[in-house]
Structure 1
Amino acid sequence: MRKKWPYFILLIILILAIFIGLIFYHNKSNSLPQQTEGFKAHHMIAHAMGGISGQPYTNSYEAFIANYEKGTRVFEADFLLSTDDDLIARHEWGESFTKMMGQEDGLQPERYGAVLKSAEFKAAKIMGRYEPMNWDDVLDLMEDYPDMYLVTDTKQITPEEIDRIFTKIVDGAKQRNPEILERIVPQIYNHPMWDQIQAIYPFESMIFTLYQTHESDEEVINFAKEKGLAAITMSEARANKKLVSELNKLGILSYVHTINDVKKVQNFKNMGVYGFYTDFLTEADGTRSWWRNYLGL
């Protein structure tokens, strides 16, 4: 039996060497250095303020609180203009969405599919209990939680609508505390939108989301490089290793939306993706080591 010990020790050493090699390989596969400043210090972005009690898309106060308490610090919010020109946090109009949000009791049936006034929107509790938010409510959060970052998802994108929306965003933040603007990250959907928003306020960071464009990867990379974009976000279908790798070489972060599965997170991280828009995952889920995922820890 004693003669077999050297072989056993060699086997243990070999297994450890393979394990260390795998760790090195997986760490090296994401060539983008860890970011440490601003919203880039975080890997997860709460989609529509994050999900609450299994319900996505609420953009509600309670969803923010629930996900902030889980450690999330970067929040995406959807914005629309009401009929009386108030900026409100809602994903879309329409009867089906009103029913999805469980707002029937707060509205008359003929208003389920209508574009709402601000007061109507605020009065119709989401799922009968969650508080809808307008821009003033979001600014309250940004004042009360100075480590919160906001990514905008403006659902109306004509040039006239963008002017109105971002003028409201900028003017409202300046009236409260101009430093809030340093924690707002506009999300753009086309090239002209970058120049238009920069003319309203020179935001330090912008994200280009690809779901409304048919540009080639090369066109996306050239635009990101030319404008010095902070990040590119893309769907699962659009994400590919070559695009992500080229963005990493430029120091531009890549995000994938909307991901609620830790296995998918790991697969995209292996591709080099930096972060994720999510309804239900936490910051810890986005930073967990591959081997812990593999072992189910």
Structure 2
Amino acid sequence: MRRWIALILLVGAAGLLCWVPRSSSEESSGGFTDYQVISHAMGGIQEHAYTNSYEAFIANYEKGNHVFEVDLLLTEDGKLVARHEWTQHMTQLLEQEDKLPKERQAARLSYEEFKESKILGAYDPLSWSDIMDLMERYPDIYIVTDTKEQEPEDMKRELEMLVHAAKERNPELLERVVPQIYNQPMLKTVQDIYSFPSLIYTLYASKDTDEEVIDFVGKHEIDAVTIPEQRVTRAFVSKLKKAGAAAYVNTINKASDVSKLKRMGVTGVYSDFLTEKDVESTSWLYAFGK
């Protein structure tokens, strides 16, 4: 009996020795890819997603997350703010109907209207200036941009405004801004505006085949590729890593799904509600092949 107990303890110890968290492994890059969770739209709060709010950021930072994706749009008067879309559906989702007249609920808001419309009756909406305040206050965070303007010129204008404002405030902030690009030509557009140290190629709107993505990543300095869950394969993820890119999957809110994806080799996930600790806990299952 004692021999069996000793054997079980030995196997358990061996498993722990074989598992090393990414942040302390030799793969550590010292950048955003050291983290396994990207908080989607600043992360969820009180079971609500898509708020892009100050309080959502604080809640998820305090839970241990360090990488935050934010949706960016232009207001009616040309200010850069954190909002997923200008639609009545989003106004209803954020419970702002009582803050806005009916004719403005599906409209592109002015900056004043945007800032005065509390989210879910309690949470503060964020402008790009507010986000830079957070970056200065929390020097260990990264901001992943999701520029939501549909027209290429408007998307370019968003990035130009973002870079100009950061250069005026503190150019070092741009070292922790990670733009997402949505197609191959957008890479040159971004690089012409500013040479960001890190970039993500996110595939939700891309028509590229897996091989085209791998070839593109191999030819350019793309730090990560974000893959829709239904498109993930072990072969695709393996080839991306060989080409030099980390693989993230969006948007995942179940720890059990993370465990499955990690077995396929992914680096991490975008999530509304999962934390770094949640994802680390799946490593126990991952280490023993569960």
In the superposition, the TM-score normalised over structure 1's length comes to: 0.89
Q: What residue is the counterpart of 1:93 in the other structure?
A: 86
Structure-2 separation of matches of 1:216 and 1:20: 42
Deviation at residue 202 of structure 1 after TM alignment: 0.4
Unaligned residue ranges in structure 1 (runs of 5+): 1-7
Report the Cα offset of residue 20 of structure 1. Answer: 6.9
Find out whether 1:193 has 2:203 as its counterpart. Answer: no
Q: Does 1:166 align with 2:159?
A: yes
% of aligned pairs identical? 48
Shift of 1:15: 5.1
Following superposition, the deviation at residue 26 of structure 1 comes to 7.9
Q: Give a deviation string over 1:101-158, Cα, whole Å, max 9, x none.
A: 0111211111111111111111111001111111111111111111110000011143
Shift of 1:41: 1.8
AA of the residue aligned to 1:247:
L
Assess, with a 3 A threshold, how the Cα gap between structure 1 residues 37 and 222 changes in structure 2: closer, same or farther: same
Q: 1:175 aligns with which of 168, 172, 190?
A: 168
Residue 233 (structure 1) aligned to one of 203, 209, 226: 226
Distance 2:131 2:184 in 1: 27
2:212 to 208, 213, 219: 219
**Shift of residue 248 of structure 1?**
1.7
Cα-to-partner distance string for 1:143-180 (whole Å, 9 max, x where unaligned)? 11111100000111432112210111100101110000
| Aligned mates of 2:195, 2:248 — CA distance in 1 | 23
Could you tell me how far 1:83 is from its partner in structure 2? 1.2
Q: Is the 8 A contact 2:142 2:176 kept in 1?
A: yes
Q: Is the 8 A contact 2:251 2:270 kept in 1?
A: yes
Structure 2 unaligned spans of 5+: none
**Whole-angstrom distance in 1 between the partners of 2:12 and 2:229:** 29
Residue type at the aligned position of 1:271: M
Decide which structure has the larger Cα Rg and report it: 1
Give the C-alpha shift of residue 9 in structure 1: 5.5
| Distance across 2 between alignment mates of 1:158 and 1:64 | 28
Counterpart AA for 2:147 = T
Deviation of 1:13 after TM superposition, in Å, equals 6.3
Distance 2:12 2:164 in 1: 54
Shift of 1:95: 0.7
Distance in structure 1 (CA, Å) of the matches to 2:41 and 2:128:
14
Conservation of the 8 A alpha-carbon contact between 1:206 and 1:231: yes
Q: Secondary structure at the match of 1:254?
A: strand
Equivalent-residue separation in structure 2 for 1:282 and 1:34 (angstroms): 21
Matches within 5 A, 1:40-189: 40-189=33-182
Q: How far apart in 2 are the matches of 1:290 and 1:121?
A: 41
Alignment check: 8 A CA contact 2:222 2:244 kept: no
Shift of residue 285, structure 1, vs aligned partner:
1.5
Checking the alignment, whether the CA contact within 8 Å between 1:205 and 1:230 is kept in structure 2 is yes
Question: Is the alpha carbon distance of 1:46 and 1:194 closer, same or farther for their aligned partners in structure 2, counting shifts above 3 Å?
Answer: same
Query: 1:250 Cα shift?
Result: 2.6
Contact kept in structure 2, 1:262 and 1:285, CA below 8 Å = yes
1:74-107 deviation per Cα after TM superposition (whole angstroms, max 9, x unaligned):
0000001111111110001111110010111211
Of residues 167-176 and 247-256 in structure 1, the stretch that sits farther from structure 2 once superposed is 247-256
Q: Against the structure 1 CA distance between its residues 269 and 26, is the aligned structure 2 distance closer, same or farther, given a 3 Å change threshold?
A: farther
8 Å CA contact retained: 1:105, 1:124: no
Amino acid at match of 2:170: N
Root-mean-square deviation over aligned CA pairs: 2.3
Structure 1's 290 and 143: CA in aligned 2 closer, same or farther, altered over 3 A? closer
- Provide the rounded CA distance (Å) in 2 between the counterparts of 1:80 and 1:20: 50
1:3 is matched with none
Per the normalisation by structure 2, the TM-score is 0.91
CA distance in 2, matches of 1:37, 1:284: 19
